[in-house]
């Protein structure tokens, strides 16, 4: 049999012409699987924006620390006023090994360098006191900007070589995010899962409840899904719905006050806060197709553990349903058969909003890098820029070997 002859050029991510407005289509599937695009997202989004990171209730006394990760960057937050990258200034060994702990001195288990937990200053560098050119003051920890809201939520910002915040969107206010403060809340624990799907795949599903009638029967029986509404803001979106008032409705399983319907707040680019004053979700991208999901669970002192357990069983079921959806979807996104789909302008307006924000940040940063002629990572500390040359800031072209590799960039 004679093989068919191609009559037009075709690539795995090409698609036929469509009368549908491109603004109502999903991002190309390549965005969900291509490591090159993922690395641009790291520079354009995760290295520049304020990220919801943790909550003050995880810390009790000065020196308490929490080791965290985000888009490949390991860092720790300690009860002072700053965050720090989890990297020794000597040979880049991770300083903090345990997930949580408490210490007034942060020591490296490789060569014994140690740092003040309150200031990040280098305290000791064995045998370097005889090196005339060595300056301890220039070898403190790489600092990370932090912001604590009145509700106790801690935001971090990796941007280190931006002179001011002109190019950095502000921290969403808790008034807009509906994050309520309640000092009686205590964190009984954290749940962590590592999943085989990308953060884009997961957050697409978070941005709509169009799928809830079919995929989440528990939600469908406890909430009035016809009233489900997503209200996009700048770098967050508010999700609200009324309780189901039908005779056969299931009473909402929540630990909030007066069984009020839950509200869900998406904090761009990868966090969700479920406001029944019980739980919030932090999504940690590991690669283009892998994600770690962290859930911090809160409890009011007036709420029994039995009721909290009932609530968590309900939401664990919902998360299991979402997990199956995301794994199967990511598998198809990886094949190269599917390219783009049509999104509903109202039922999937949250997805349209989310994807537009991702695309906007990536395109703006990519245009900047093309003007500069090299990669630019806002998170690279100025002290790591070779001879204070901006081309060394994230561009890796800081010696003859790196330069000899040529101007090719990951994009």
Q: Tell me, what's the pLDDT at 61?
A: 81
Q: What is the mean pLDDT of residues 133-147?
A: 85
Looking at residue 142, the DSSP 8-state letter turns out to be P
% of the chain surpassing 90 pLDDT: 24
Lowest-pLDDT range of 35-44, 122-131, 295-304: 295-304
Q: What tokens appear for 401 in the block? A: 């070997």
> Domain range spanning residue 267?
181-353
- In three-state secondary structure terms, 55 is strand
Whether residues 84 and 218 fall in one domain: no
Segment 41-71, tens digit of pLDDT: 999 999 988 888 888 888 888 788 888 888 8
Q: What is the mean pLDDT of residues 98-102?
A: 80
CATH number for the domain that contains residue 291:
3.90.380.10
Q: Tell me, what's the pLDDT at 19?
A: 45
| Residue 137 domain-assigned (yes or no) | yes
Q: Tell me, what's the pLDDT at 32?
A: 94
| Greater model confidence, 134 or 274 | 134
Whether residues 262 and 145 fall in one domain: no
Whether residues 83 and 144 fall in one domain: yes
Q: Tell me, what's the pLDDT at 16?
A: 37
CATH number for the domain that contains residue 142:
2.102.10.10
The span from the CA of 183 to the CA of 204, in Å, is 33
Q: How confident is the model at residue 341 (pLDDT cuts 50, 70, 90)?
A: very high
Whether residues 148 and 208 fall in one domain: no
In 3D space, the residue among 284, 283, 280 whose CA is nearest the CA of residue 315 turns out to be: 280
Q: Tell me, what's the pLDDT at 347?
A: 94
Looking at residue 46, the DSSP 8-state letter turns out to be I
Is 167 a residue whose pLDDT tops 90? no
Q: What is the mean pLDDT of residues 302-306?
A: 77
Q: How confident is the model at residue 256 (pLDDT cuts 50, 70, 90)?
A: very low
| Residue 395 domain-assigned (yes or no) | no
Q: What is the mean pLDDT of residues 128-144?
A: 86
Is 253 a residue whose pLDDT tops 90? no
Whether residues 190 and 335 fall in one domain: yes
Whether residues 84 and 124 fall in one domain: yes
Angstrom CA distances, 209 to 224, 235, 330, 357, stand at: 11, 19, 19, 19
Is 9 a residue whose pLDDT tops 50? no
Whether residues 209 and 268 fall in one domain: yes
Domain count within the chain: 2
| Residue 303 domain-assigned (yes or no) | yes
Q: Tell me, what's the pLDDT at 277?
A: 56
| Residue 302 domain-assigned (yes or no) | yes
Whether residues 101 and 245 fall in one domain: no
| Residue 147 domain-assigned (yes or no) | yes
Is 6 a residue whose pLDDT tops 60? no
Q: What is the mean pLDDT of the chain?
A: 77
Whether residues 145 and 250 fall in one domain: no
Is 102 a residue whose pLDDT tops 70? yes
> 17-21, 218-222, 329-333 — which one is most confidently predicted on average?
329-333
Is 17 a residue whose pLDDT tops 70? no
Whether residues 153 and 229 fall in one domain: no
Segment 264-302, tens digit of pLDDT: 888 888 887 776 656 677 888 888 999 888 888 777 777
Whether residues 232 and 127 fall in one domain: no
Q: Tell me, what's the pLDDT at 50?
A: 87
- The domain boundary residue, chosen from 337, 353, 369: 353
| Residue 361 domain-assigned (yes or no) | no
| Residue 24 domain-assigned (yes or no) | no
| Greater model confidence, 274 or 144 | 144
| Residue 135 domain-assigned (yes or no) | yes
Strand 223-232, strand 64-70: pairing = unpaired
DSSP state string for 202-260: HHHHHT--TTHHHH-HHHHHHEEEEEEEEEE-SSEEEEEEEEP-STTPPPP---SGGGP
Q: Tell me, what's the pLDDT at 162?
A: 62
Q: What is the mean pLDDT of residues 84-91?
A: 66
Q: Tell me, what's the pLDDT at 179?
A: 52
Is 396 a residue whose pLDDT tops 50? no
Whether residues 222 and 150 fall in one domain: no
% of the chain surpassing 70 pLDDT: 72
Q: How confident is the model at residue 403 (pLDDT cuts 50, 70, 90)?
A: low
In 3D space, the residue among 340, 338, 342, 339 whose CA is nearest the CA of residue 21 turns out to be: 342
């Amino acid at each position: 049999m004679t093989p068919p002859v191609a009559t037009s050029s075709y690539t795995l991510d090409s698609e036929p012409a469509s009368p549908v407005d491109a603004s109502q289509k999903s991002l190309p599937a390549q965005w969900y699987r291509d490591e090159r695009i993922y690395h641009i997202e790291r520079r354009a989004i995760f290295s520049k924006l304020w990220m919801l990171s943790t909550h003050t209730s995880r810390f009790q006394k000065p020196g308490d620390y929490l080791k965290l990760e985000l888009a490949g960057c390991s860092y720790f937050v300690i009860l002072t006023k700053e965050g720090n990258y989890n990297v020794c200034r000597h040979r880049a060994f991770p300083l903090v090994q345990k997930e949580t702990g408490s210490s007034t001195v942060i020591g490296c288990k490789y060569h014994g360098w140690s740092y003040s937990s309150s200031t990040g200053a280098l305290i000791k560098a064995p045998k370097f006191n005889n090196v005339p050119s060595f300056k301890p003051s220039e070898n403190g920890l790489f600092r990370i900007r932090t912001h604590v809201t009145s509700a106790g939520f801690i935001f971090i910002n990796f941007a280190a070589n931006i002179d001011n915040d002109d190019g950095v969107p502000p921290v969403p206010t808790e008034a807009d995010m509906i994050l309520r403060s309640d000092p009686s809340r205590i964190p009984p624990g954290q749940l962590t899962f590592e999943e085989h799907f990308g953060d884009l795949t997961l957050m697409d599903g978070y941005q709509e409840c169009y799928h809830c009638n079919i995929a989440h029967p528990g939600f469908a029986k406890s909430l009035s899904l016809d009233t489900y509404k997503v209200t996009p803001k700048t770098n967050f979106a508010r999700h609200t719905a009324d309780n189901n008032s039908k005779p056969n409705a299931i009473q909402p399983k929540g630990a909030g006050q007066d069984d009020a319907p839950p509200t869900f707040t998406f904090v761009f680019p990868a966090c969700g806060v479920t406001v029944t004053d019980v739980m919030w979700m932090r999504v940690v991208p590991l690669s283009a197709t892998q994600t770690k999901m962290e859930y911090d669970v809160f409890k009011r002192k007036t709420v029994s553990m039995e009721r909290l357990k009932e609530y968590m069983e309900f939401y664990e079921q919902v998360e299991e349903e979402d997990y199956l959806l995301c794994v199967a979807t990511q598998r198809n996104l990886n094949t190269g058969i599917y390219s783009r789909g049509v999104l509903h302008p109202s039922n999937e307006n949250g997805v349209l909003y989310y994807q537009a924000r991702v695309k906007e940040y990536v395109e703006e940063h990519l245009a900047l890098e093309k003007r500069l002629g090299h990669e630019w990572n806002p998170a690279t500390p100025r002290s790591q820029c070779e001879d204070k040359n901006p081309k060394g800031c994230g561009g890796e072209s800081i010696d003859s070997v790196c330069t000899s590799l040529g101007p090719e960039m990951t994009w």
